[in-house]
């Protein structure tokens, strides 16, 4: 069905989505396993019949709306007893189905069920036991996932009511309710910005139609499209779509009008970033210089330098004394130079000792 026409879009058929492409690929893999695979309802239900001993078993493969994101459902006809089959005649314990994902192969999964049944043939239940066992319902209905607008006649709904409890299938209202929830547009806070209009669970125009007319309607896309276009809810959706489109256009124009302001702020940010980078480089240079000076003027380094300077002054005083003894200078020159250098030597020793006391008391040594 071409839903682009419903919402006022292009008349050409849109390209399939990734999920639709994967679904088509999965169905093709199912067709490849056997020529006996038949399509009951397009993209919804398929049947694969194969012989097991003297009995022909049929696997009813039902594909949910979100297949292959959701796992397929496989039923068995007629009723059998097998470890993989539950009391509703569904293949519920097949590893390939339990681990089915988007990248699994539907054909391989169904083939594994066929191989298991041929390797370990199931026990076919007698018809009277199958219908009256209480826990065993009748074989899976052919409409496990009903098409929109299709409702079973009363005769089909009451066919097995006297013998076994009916297996209830998902109603159209449950799908429409789920669709309304999933199609709501939500913002980052989770609050709903747009709510899809409530879609009716049934169409009154279908109540008086016969099964032939319903089947014809279901397989005629033009008539189905005409019926849907007459619904006021779809008109409301089209109107809301146009309103949302206008709102988006206004927001886009508003954003474009702020482009100069954003560009100015961007340039200002770049300039400030460059300035920050330059100041950071200067700071790193100053920190490195400060660390070097802190190392050069550490109390322990100063103490060592004072000790060396005191020794140098003492050696210089000894040379002056030797020069006086060798009569290389007179007594006045000797007294002047010797007193100066000895005073400097004692001063340095006193400073070194005082600094040593400070270092030891405050724990400043390396």
Specify the pLDDT at position 289: 93
State the Cα torsion 338-343-344-348 to the nearest 10°: 140
Q: What is the pLDDT of residue 206?
A: 74
Give the residue among 59, 97, 54 at the shortest CA–CA distance from 78: 59
- The predicted pLDDT at position 268 comes to 95
> Residue 199: its pLDDT value, please?
66
pLDDT digits (tens, 9 = 90+) for 4-23: 444 444 445 556 677 778 88
Of 4, 16, 12, 15, nearest to 238 (Cα)?
Answer: 4
| Beta-carbon-side half-sphere exposure of residue 29 (alpha carbons within 13 Å) | 16
Q: What is the pLDDT of residue 339?
A: 92
| 109: Cβ contacts below 8 Å, ≥ 6 apart | 72, 94, 96, 97, 100
pLDDT at residue number 266: 94
pTM, to two decimals: 0.34
Report pLDDT for 13: 54
For the CA atoms of 192, 194, 196, 197, the dihedral, rounded to the nearest 10 degrees, stands at 110
User: What DSSP state is assigned to residue 205?
Assistant: G
Which ranges of the chain have pLDDT less than 70?
A: 1-16, 127-194, 196-197, 199-203, 365-366
pLDDT for the residue numbered 340: 92
Nearest of 176, 231, 164 to residue 203 by alpha carbon: 231
């Amino acid at each position: 069905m071409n839903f682009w026409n419903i919402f006022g879009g292009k008349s050409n058929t849109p390209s399939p989505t990734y999920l639709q492409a994967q679904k088509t690929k999965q169905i093709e893999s199912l067709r490849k396993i056997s020529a006996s695979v038949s399509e009951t309802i397009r993209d919804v239900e398929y049947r694969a019949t194969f012989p097991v001993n003297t009995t022909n078993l049929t696997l009813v493969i039902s594909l949910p709306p979100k297949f292959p994101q959701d796992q397929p459902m496989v039923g068995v006809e007629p009723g059998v007893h097998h470890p993989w089959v539950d009391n509703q005649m569904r293949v519920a314990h097949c590893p390939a189905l339990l681990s089915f994902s988007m990248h699994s192969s539907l054909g391989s999964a169904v083939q594994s069920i066929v191989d298991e049944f041929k390797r370990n043939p199931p026990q076919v239940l007698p018809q009277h036991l199958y219908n009256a066992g209480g826990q065993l319902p009748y074989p899976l209905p052919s409409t496990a996932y009903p098409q929109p607008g299709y409702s079973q006649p009363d005769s089909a709904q009451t066919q097995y009511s006297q013998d076994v409890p009916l297996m209830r299938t998902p109603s159209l209202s449950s799908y429409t309710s789920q669709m309304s929830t999933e199609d709501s547009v939500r913002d980052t806070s989770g609050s709903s910005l747009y709510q899809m209009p409530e879609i009716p669970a049934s169409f009154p125009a279908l109540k008086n139609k016969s099964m032939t007319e319903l089947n014809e309607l279901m397989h005629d896309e033009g008539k189905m499209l005409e019926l849907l276009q007459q619904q006021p809810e779809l008109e409301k959706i089209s109107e809301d779509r146009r309103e949302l489109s206008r709102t988006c256009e206004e927001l886009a124009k508003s954003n474009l009008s702020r482009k100069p302001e954003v560009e100015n702020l961007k340039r200002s940010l770049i300039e400030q970033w460059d300035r920050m980078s330059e100041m950071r480089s200067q700071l790193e240079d100053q920190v490195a210089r400060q660390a070097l000076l802190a190392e050069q003027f550490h109390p322990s380094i100063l103490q060592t330098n004072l000790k060396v300077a005191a020794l140098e002054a003492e050696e210089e005083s000894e040379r002056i004394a030797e020069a006086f003894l060798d009569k290389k200078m007179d007594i006045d020159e000797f007294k002047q130079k010797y007193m100066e250098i000895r005073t400097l030597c004692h001063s340095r020793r006193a400073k070194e000792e005082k600094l040593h006391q400070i270092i030891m008391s405050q724990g400043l040594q390396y």
